[in-house]
């Protein structure tokens, strides 16, 4: 990946991760959805700032990902986008105090190794 491509990739990843964090924060404000409150939850989504910010971040992430796809093969960009999972787990640990069991750490390590193998360019 060239520096401009890496920049698009990084922006896409960061926007997607930020979107997830905002959506989680907004979901915590809403509380659990049940059959009896699903309609009110749907209507409250458009008035919850964190949820709107999350959807906006996802949209920006999608736009930058599309721009990246104009420059990079899908066989590289697609698997590399799985780094969103890694950043989401780490961010969940720090922002929402979620635990990270050893099995999840092993899985994240495998994702990172897989991404490195996919983006590695032999010249």
> Is the full-model pTM beyond 0.85?
no
Per-domain residue ranges of the chain: 3-119
User: Kind and range of the H or E element at 58?
Assistant: helix 49-69
Q: Determine whether 96 is exposed, middle or buried from the number of CB atoms within 10 Å of its CB (0-12, 13-18, 19+).
A: exposed
**Which DSSP symbol is given to 20?**
H
d(CA 92, CA 77): 24
Please give the chain's pLDDT, 123 residues, in tens. Answer: 789 998 999 999 999 999 999 999 999 998 888 888 888 888 888 899 999 999 999 999 999 999 999 999 998 898 888 999 999 999 999 999 999 999 999 999 999 999 888 888 765
């Amino acid at each position: 990946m060239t520096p401009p491509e890496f920049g698009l990739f990084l922006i896409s990843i960061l926007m997607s991760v930020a979107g997830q964090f905002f959506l989680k924060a907004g979901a915590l404000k809403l509380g659990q959805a049940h059959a009896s409150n699903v309609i009110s939850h749907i209507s409250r989504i458009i008035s919850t700032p964190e949820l709107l910010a999350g959807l906006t971040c996802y949209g920006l992430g999608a736009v930058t990902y599309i721009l990246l796809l104009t420059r990079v093969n899908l066989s590289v960009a697609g698997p590399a986008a799985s780094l969103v999972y890694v950043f989401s787990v780490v961010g969940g640990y720090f922002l929402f105090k979620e635990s990270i069991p050893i099995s999840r750490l092993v899985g994240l390590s495998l994702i990172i190794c897989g991404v490195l193998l996919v983006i590695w360019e032999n010249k």
